[in-house]
Structure 1
Amino acid sequence: MPAGRKSECEVCQWQSLFRKRLAINVKGFSSERIAGLFIQFGEWLLSRSGANKAALSINGHYRFFRTVDASWDAIPSYEQLLRHFGAAGLRKAENPMRFLTETGVVTVSAQLRDRHTELRRIAEILLEPTDSWSAQLLSEYVYVLKARMEQGDTNLRSVRLAARAAANLLKSAQLKLGALPTQKTLESFWRRSPGQVAAVTGFIGHLNKRHGLELQVKPDARWLCQARRQKAERELVAMLSEIADDDFERRWIVKGLAYFHDVARASRRKLVFQSQEYRGVAGYSVTYEEKILWVPSASSYQYGDHSSRVISTLRRNP
């Protein structure tokens, strides 16, 4: 035993502190069943984490059990816990939930958890519009989507993705009270967010049907291809003014693949590349789906007002 510890070693000291805190916390419960379960949890935590971590964390875990004690006199079903704490709240209570699951007190349902998460995200999207008119248009559309879901024509994730695209369009349009999106505002949205063209078609169709509009639901393929390329160019130019970090090189190559080779959503983690000059221009040789593609490096561009022109020139003359 190290000097200065008198008659108690370090392990015994932490165990004593843990027992003291556990005994104090148990007195805070009104339900004997919850109190007994908390004592079982304490022993489980002690065996899993050791006396040190258990002593330091037991007070924090007490708050979860105290909330359960205040709301129910026994551990409720997973669905009730999910409704009360939310998926994020249950993730924070990782150890109590693991204990309840391992001991068979609670049966976790991944399906219920995913459903609750999607519903929460949809509710958050519905709160995004800053004006009542846009909020009304979005709410009407989500109501229609949920009715389709009840009929089995779509699922909750698709409802959330469609609602997200609709909210983004309404934010971009900045509608005045009673006004509706025009083809011009729609094309502006397409140009800025070509990746959401498919997701927003349902909302445009809904507006046409509900409000008697005749908006073009989708742009033609050539227009969309050009819009994607222009967006990729803007993103490359914006990166030229960034301060390079450890991930800059991979992010640059992903954007470069999208602009120079029309490769959408390349994975940064799976990139295989090496530095290689081409016609005297610094760049990277990239292996993508068994093809060798070349992307110029950020250092090969002129920084300043002409960056966009230089990038466009390199695309025309790779």
Structure 2
Amino acid sequence: MSLAEINIEQLCNGCEKSVTQLKKRYKGKKYCSTCYARIFKKCLCPKCGLSARLPKNDDQAICNECIKKQPCIRCNQVNRPIGTLTEYGVVCNSCSVYFREVERCERCNVQSQKLTKISRFNDDLRVCPKCSTRDYETCPSCHKYRLLELDEKGNKVCKKCITQPNKPCIECKTMISAGCGDLCDDCYWIKNLWSKFHQNIYLFESSFLKKQYENYVLWLVDLVGAHQAALYLNKHTHFFIKTEMLWESNIPDADQLLLTLRTSGLRKFELVTQWLDQMHGVKISTINKNECSEIDQANKLIDQLPQPSLAFDVVFAYKQKLDEKMHQGKTSARSVRLAMKPAVALMLSIQDKQLLPDLAKVKAYLNEYSGQAAALTGFINFLNDQYDTDIDYISLKHSNFIKEASKRKLEKELISMLSPNTDFNVMVWVKNGLQLFHEMSYQDSLKIKLEMIVEIKDGYNVLYNNQNYWLPKNIDPSFKK
């Protein structure tokens, strides 16, 4: 039986009956010949005035010729071949793929609206765009991603570059490969850059800002070239959008920019800040940026606590006290952040966020994070003073508890490194070993360098401050000096 003899039944949306042949498709609906004659009546098109069959229940209906003249509802272009007619309007042939049902690629199982059969694969599968171009490569001549063929010299080149001669760039007349577009690379990126510029310039109201934005683009092109500038421009435009209120008639100063964007925001726009520094003398102090970063990190720490809760209220009050000391010049933003970290961690370790910590909970926390004992002192003192928790932290610090907890942690880390499935790091092994076996302080262990370590037959010799320290080898001796 041939394909022409196969009758496929479809549902008519007019009579809800299955039919083998449809007479009309209109706005996503299908009609049989009977329903077409019943629903579509001859009348004058309200737009052009010519006679046409239009649905009697649609007062806004127009004839096919008028429909063809309507712009595509997706790309807004006119006089394009009609791909489909939706309930929202006409869709051109190019855009019609976006109105198809999502189906799975028969090769990779990825969902797509653009399934197609590729005859050169001889597999009769409906595949997605990625699978349909799986044999494509980048042409070395025009740099387009295409199906390549062997030229006379045996090199892989696209068909256009093989069969057609080189052509001149329409802007600079430089000869380019036939497979390229109308512009050479330089002219293309220049056009791309200024096209983006002319689109972005309408984002700003201030004429002063528009001029400065143009000055920045010119400076950026001189610095990195049109190609990179075109790639950077949209991202850097966000700098001017976020600071637009600061550009009314003057260049914003460093404090205004830091207050608006914060340190994390300024990191995204290093080239813009470089331009401000070079061209306008606006230099944001590294000290101020670091202080701003520390303040923001401290705020992020406290935001980890649930609100409302006693835990949040307590830590927030502690932060206010630290902030007051910072404003008085008695401490730094970094010290505030370092003090906040164990305070937040301690409160997070307590399951009930409406309870204050006691000695048992403090010991449980320090058992896991013994290195935070000193940093936690201020918070414990604050709890004792403001909330009458009566935690005897001084006795705890002077006891062997913290030292033993630190030792247990080091032992645990060293034992974990004995596993054959763990990547062996000789520096970690040596630093932890010096703290555990030779009771070296953590601060001193950080000063150990690779050149201080000498591998010997039965272990490692570490020379530090004119003194030799011996450490055993790991089971997996992968360290090579």
Report the TM-score, using the length of structure 2 for normalisation.
0.55
Q: d(CA) in 2 for partners of 1:147 and 1:242?
A: 51
Partner residue of 2:239 out of 43, 64, 79: 64
Letter in 2 for 1:146: D
Return 162-171 or 101-110, whichever deviates more: 101-110
Return 6-15 or 53-62, whichever deviates more: 6-15
TM superposition shift of 1:99: 0.3
Q: d(CA) in 2 for partners of 1:103 and 1:269?
A: 44
> Does the C-alpha gap of structure 1 residues 130 and 233 become closer, same or farther in structure 2, counting only changes over 3 Å?
farther
TM superposition shift of 1:4: 4.2
TM superposition shift of 1:88: 0.9
Map 1:128-139 onto structure 2 (within 5 A): 128-130=304-306, 132-139=309-316
Q: Give the fraction of aligned pairs with identical amino acids, expressed as a percent.
A: 29
Q: d(CA) in 1 for partners of 2:430 and 2:324?
A: 43
Is 2:311 the partner of 1:157?
no
TM superposition shift of 1:100: 0.9
TM superposition shift of 1:162: 1.3
TM superposition shift of 1:300: 6.0
> Does the C-alpha gap of structure 1 residues 239 and 175 become closer, same or farther in structure 2, counting only changes over 3 Å?
farther
Counterpart of 2:268? 92
TM superposition shift of 1:214: 2.8
Highest RCO, 1 vs 2 (Cα 8 Å, sep ≥ 6)? 1
Does the 8 Å CA contact 2:322/2:336 hold for their aligned counterparts?
Answer: yes
**Secondary structure, aligned partner of 2:393:** coil
Counterpart of 1:181? 357
Is 2:417 the partner of 1:239?
yes
Does the 8 Å CA contact 2:418/2:476 hold for their aligned counterparts?
Answer: no
Q: d(CA) in 2 for partners of 1:59 and 1:212?
A: 56
> What do residues 265-314 of structure 1 show as CA deviations (whole Å, max 9, x unaligned)?
53488233233232xxxx3222333333222333269xxxxxxxxxxxxx
- CA RMSD, aligned part only? 2.8
**Secondary structure, aligned partner of 1:294:** strand
Counterpart of 1:271? 450
Is 2:440 the partner of 1:230?
no
The structure that is strand-richer by fraction is 2
TM superposition shift of 1:232: 0.8
- Unmatched tracts of structure 2, length 5 or more: 1-141, 143-165, 175-183
TM superposition shift of 1:236: 1.7
Is 2:207 the partner of 1:207?
no
TM superposition shift of 1:71: 6.2
Q: d(CA) in 2 for partners of 1:83 and 1:236?
A: 46
TM superposition shift of 1:80: 2.1
> What do residues 48-79 of structure 1 show as CA deviations (whole Å, max 9, x unaligned)?
11222122222222222233336643542222
TM superposition shift of 1:200: 0.8
Counterpart of 1:28? 203
Counterpart of 2:96? none
Partner residue of 2:298 out of 122, 125, 141: 122
Q: d(CA) in 2 for partners of 1:40 and 1:130?
A: 47
Does the 8 Å CA contact 1:257/1:295 hold for their aligned counterparts?
Answer: yes
> Does the C-alpha gap of structure 1 residues 66 and 5 become closer, same or farther in structure 2, counting only changes over 3 Å?
farther
Partner residue of 1:43 out of 203, 213, 218: 218
Q: d(CA) in 2 for partners of 1:176 and 1:51?
A: 56
TM superposition shift of 1:101: 1.3
Does the 8 Å CA contact 1:254/1:268 hold for their aligned counterparts?
Answer: no
Structure with greater Cα Rg: 2
Is 2:229 the partner of 1:54?
yes
Return 203-212 or 150-159, whichever deviates more: 150-159
Alignment coverage as a number of residue pairs: 294
**Secondary structure, aligned partner of 2:468:** strand
Does the 8 Å CA contact 1:194/1:224 hold for their aligned counterparts?
Answer: yes
- Unmatched tracts of structure 1, length 5 or more: 302-318
Return 146-155 or 202-211, whichever deviates more: 146-155
TM superposition shift of 1:115: 2.5
Letter in 1 for 2:332: N
The structure that is helix-richer by fraction is 1
Does the 8 Å CA contact 1:271/1:288 hold for their aligned counterparts?
Answer: no
Is 2:285 the partner of 1:109?
yes
Counterpart of 1:198? 374
Return 145-154 or 131-140, whichever deviates more: 145-154
Letter in 1 for 2:208: R
